[in-house]
Amino acid sequence: MVHLFNAGPAKVPDEVKEQIQSEFFNFAGSGISVIEISHRSPEFTALMNESNVNLREILEIPDNYRILWLAGGATGLFSSIPLNLITSKDDVLDYVVTGTWSKGAAKEAEKYANVNYVVPIPADFTGVPLEESMKFTPGAKYVFYCDNETVNGIEFPHILKTDSTIVCDMSSNFLSRAVDVQKYGAIFAGVQKNVAPAGLGVLIIREDLISADRLHQVPKVWDFKLQDAANSCLNTPNVFSLYVTNLVLKHLMKNGGLKRYSELSRQKSSAIYDIIDDSNGFYACKIDKDARSRMNVTFKLASKDLEAEFVKKAADLKIEGVKGHRSVGGIRASLYNAVTMESVNYLGDFMKSFQKNHE
Amino acid sequence: MVHLFNAGPAKVPDEVKEQIQSEFFNFAGSGISVIEISHRSPEFTALMNESNVNLREILEIPDNYRILWLAGGATGLFSSIPLNLITSKDDVLDYVVTGTWSKGAAKEAEKYANVNYVVPIPADFTGVPLEESMKFTPGAKYVFYCDNETVNGIEFPHILKTDSTIVCDMSSNFLSRAVDVQKYGAIFAGVQKNVAPAGLGVLIIREDLISADRLHQVPKVWDFKLQDAANSCLNTPNVFSLYVTNLVLKHLMKNGGLKRYSELSRQKSSAIYDIIDDSNGFYACKIDKDARSRMNVTFKLASKDLEAEFVKKAADLKIEGVKGHRSVGGIRASLYNAVTMESVNYLGDFMKSFQKNHE
């Protein structure tokens, strides 16, 4: 058995994979594989509706919010959001940059509007900015931030405090804790980190933000108004990813919902952070304690050679996916919902034993 | 056993589905499911490279053409192509409209440039325009057409005759016959009709057309230059669809390649068209004989009621997916590569028996 700590695409619950495999030739009693069903079939329409109902229930999404499922993932949504929300050439967009992803989103938005960086982009990402340091633009079209930065392992401890409309990228901590949706204008996520296979993004957006009044031309597949009217089926959707997403939503509800997974995320990440903090510096996490991600635990060892040995020895024990992002190096263990406490303890035991053998 | 004639998403070869199912927990010996592997893993890189090699071999793609795999499908590519190819506000794009898809592509291109309709859009689509009726723009940036129109069942019998750079949508007849790639500037397809599950598009483009010199801002995920440099992994690609695509490519090569499938397509479609033509008007196909699609055979019966009964009786016999597109009604049988001669004969026998019982 492989203990998988991939940052995304990432682990899917074994029970869900077993169901996919067992019903692969027969989706919803149709006698047809889920990869062959038409997106205009009653079976698919039922799947789409059920996914919306389930997501609405899990996240307690208010009635005045719409759910869109769009091909691609967060990087595409980085472009589609300003394209849909900008209504005037004078619009200012506020971006809070705390890592690779929010920085990428801001650069993409700069193609279409004036972007104000609420805090200067730091040379190195180690936490979330102090509230008093943030300079929001009065009347900004929206404030954008990334709730969890996967590369560096930085997570906001709470929602950003601002009076502006918030647009939040939750790709890597989506469905890992309860969210007060009504405090956001829009929440989006690529599903491939904490939910399902790559190639699908989900957008939860307050309905008054969906409008045909836009400054720029919006490509049809990203037109929120058209996609909303078409129940996310203006073009052929990613049927398979939506199917797995819905299975994961049901799995999550059956196993205690967000309350349970939120508690599990805390326990799993604490287990690893405790080992780091008790290691006398053998393992070092440079992220501020209040901004340490529950999803992506990042740390370094004394040298690149030692890190390479850590990754190799881990692989020998079937611990996979712990190499840090290529842009920052080090080690990263991603502890998404599907990663079990058993796997986390297995990793923890390895970390302790590896330290013992190298001190 | 269901005989599936879906227009897309559509049938995938049984042998391929069996392989997906059997190795679902263990991709390429990794001990990890294909839906969990990282797009930065050696296993995925090997898959991407193999897919490119296989597609290049099957279509005999010259070295000066690049292959891009992009999230979404043809409708997204309708936008990305003008966005990437337009370099000046004076650029004119020529569009040949022969059905729903080319019309949609032209409307999308109008967002970004001057579109010239090479022939007036007909009120009803029944064939491909006569060569002498087409008014190409000298110096047009490109001429766009759709090789096979899925909704109406119209297929070009041969490549469009023009001196301009050709951009061709082959979504629904991709890999159904040999193509002289060097005669095109670009060929693209959503994979969900003749290849693999929805959520992935493929673009084959002459390398000199890939440039950073563009008039409009190009969303990062659709930036051909960046995606080409990143081997289609600028953002997380649709791993699962690419995996199935590659299995289908291998299946196709093993079973005789394009020569064999081209011949099969001719045989399968002829079998159904012959029944239509021999029906004394009981079944009526209004498409010009030289433009009848080998992929999507469309026909009508005397009344909507009779068509509804046809669909119902077919379903009783496990013939699925034969209802015509909602915009045009009637009957449509899609005969993509994965549809066997056995299924086609089964449908043919039903058509003959249905006619006998209703005359």
Q: Are strands B331-334 and B296-299 parallel, antiparallel or unpaired?
A: antiparallel
* Cβ separation B320–A75 shorter than 8 A: no
Residue B35 near chain A (CB below 8 Å): yes
* Kind and range of the H or E run holding B225: helix B224-229
Average pLDDT over residues B239-246: 98
* Confidence at residue A292, expressed as pLDDT on a 0 to 100 scale: 98
Average pLDDT over residues B231-243: 98
| Whether A116 contacts A92, CB under 8 Å | yes
Among chain B residues, the shortest Cα distance to A194 is held by B36
Q: Does domain A14-254 have CATH number 1.10.10.10?
A: no
Contacting residues of B for A31, CB less than 8 Å apart: 1-2, 318, 320
* Confidence at residue B314, expressed as pLDDT on a 0 to 100 scale: 98
Rounded to an integer, what distance in angstroms lies between the CA atom of residue B251 and that of residue B243? Answer: 12
| Whether B1 contacts B190, CB under 8 Å | no
Q: Could you confirm whether A169 is annotated as catalytic?
A: yes
| Whether A37 contacts A196, CB under 8 Å | no
Rounded to an integer, what distance in angstroms lies between the CA atom of residue B300 and that of residue B193? Answer: 22
> Is the confidence metric ipTM above 0.95 for this complex?
yes
* Cβ separation B6–A38 shorter than 8 A: yes
Residue B311 sits at φ, ψ, to 5 deg, of -65, -40
Residue B12 near chain A (CB below 8 Å): yes
Could you tell me the sign of the dihedral formed by the alpha carbons of B56, B59, B63, B66, in that order?
A: negative
Per-position b or e across B306-336, b if 16+ CB within 10 A of its CB: ebeebbeebeeeebbbbbbbeebebbbbbbb
Q: Are strands A92-95 and A114-117 parallel, antiparallel or unpaired?
A: parallel
Residue B36 near chain A (CB below 8 Å): yes
Where do you find CATH 3.40.640.10 in chain A?
14-254
Short-list B119, B120, B121, B122, CA closest to B132: B119
| Whether A67 contacts A189, CB under 8 Å | no
| Whether B155 contacts B292, CB under 8 Å | yes
Give the closest-approach CA distance of A135 to chain B in angstroms: 27
Give the closest-approach CA distance of B254 to chain A in angstroms: 22
Give the closest-approach CA distance of A131 to chain B in angstroms: 31
**Cα→Cα distances B304→A204, B282, B300, B308, Å:** 40, 13, 9, 6
| Whether B84 contacts B283, CB under 8 Å | no
Q: Could you confirm whether A180 is annotated as catalytic?
A: no
Rounded to an integer, what distance in angstroms lies between the CA atom of residue B136 and that of residue B163? Answer: 9
Matching residue, tokens 């996914």: A51
Residue A200 near chain B (CB below 8 Å): yes
Q: Are strands A200-206 and A186-190 parallel, antiparallel or unpaired?
A: antiparallel
Average pLDDT over residues B33-48: 97
Average pLDDT over residues B27-33: 96
pLDDT of B359 strictly over 90: no
Q: Quick one: tokens of A329?
A: 């190096």
Average pLDDT over residues B18-34: 97
Q: Which long-range contacts (CB under 8 A, 24 or more apart) does A183-190 make?
A: A183/A159, A184/A159, A185/A142, A185/A209, A186/A81, A186/A142, A188/A74, A188/A77, A188/A81, A189/A74, A190/A8, A190/A72, A190/A73, A190/A74, A190/A75, A190/A77, A190/B236
| Whether A84 contacts A217, CB under 8 Å | no
* Cβ separation B235–A75 shorter than 8 A: yes
Q: Are strands B142-146 and B148-149 parallel, antiparallel or unpaired?
A: unpaired
Burial (CB count within 10 angstroms: exposed 0-12, middle 13-18, buried 19+), residue B235: buried
* Confidence at residue A13, expressed as pLDDT on a 0 to 100 scale: 98
Residues with Cβ < 8 Å from A120, sequence gap 6 or more? none
Rounded to an integer, what distance in angstroms lies between the CA atom of residue B13 and that of residue B265? Answer: 15
Rounded to an integer, what distance in angstroms lies between the CA atom of residue A39 and that of residue B9? Answer: 7
Given the residues A101, A141, A268, A323, the one annotated as active site: A101
Contacting residues of A for B150, CB less than 8 Å apart: none
Rounded to an integer, what distance in angstroms lies between the CA atom of residue A207 and that of residue A63? Answer: 9
Rounded to an integer, what distance in angstroms lies between the CA atom of residue B147 and that of residue B293? Answer: 10
* Kind and range of the H or E run holding B145: strand B142-146
Average pLDDT over residues B43-69: 98
| Whether B170 contacts B148, CB under 8 Å | yes
Where do you find CATH 3.90.1150.10 in chain A?
257-357
Architecture field, domain A257-357: Alpha-Beta Complex (3.90)
Contacting residues of A for B74, CB less than 8 Å apart: 235
Give the closest-approach CA distance of B146 to chain A in angstroms: 17
Bridge partners of B149, per DSSP, are B154
Residue A356 near chain B (CB below 8 Å): no
* B268 alpha-carbon distance from chain centroid: 17
The pLDDT tens digits of the residues spanning B151-170 come to 999 999 999 999 999 999 99
Q: What angle do CA A138, A140, A146 make, to 5 degrees?
A: 120
Rounded to an integer, what distance in angstroms lies between the CA atom of residue B139 and that of residue B97? Answer: 19
Catalytic residues of B: 101, 169, 193
* Cβ separation B9–A237 shorter than 8 A: no
Given the residues A141, A193, A300, A323, the one annotated as active site: A193
E strands in A134-216: 142-146, 148-149, 154-155, 166-169, 186-190, 200-206
DSSP string, A316-345: HTTEES-BPPTTT-SEEEE--TTS-HHHHH
Pure H helices in B92-153? 100-109
Average pLDDT over residues B252-274: 98
| Whether B175 contacts B61, CB under 8 Å | no
Bridge partners of A146, per DSSP, are A169
* Cβ separation B35–A12 shorter than 8 A: yes
Could you tell me the sign of the dihedral formed by the alpha carbons of A29, A35, A37, A42, in that order?
A: positive
* Confidence at residue B203, expressed as pLDDT on a 0 to 100 scale: 98
pLDDT in tens, chain A (359 residues): 999 999 999 999 999 999 999 999 999 999 999 999 999 999 999 999 999 999 999 999 999 999 999 999 999 999 999 999 999 999 999 999 999 999 999 999 999 999 999 999 999 999 999 989 999 999 999 999 999 999 999 999 999 999 999 999 999 999 999 999 999 999 999 999 999 999 999 999 999 999 999 999 999 999 999 999 999 999 999 999 999 999 999 999 999 999 999 999 999 999 999 999 999 999 999 999 999 999 999 999 999 999 999 999 999 999 999 999 999 999 999 999 999 999 999 999 999 999 999 98
Residues with Cβ < 8 Å from A116, sequence gap 6 or more? A92, A93, A94, A95, A135, A137, A140
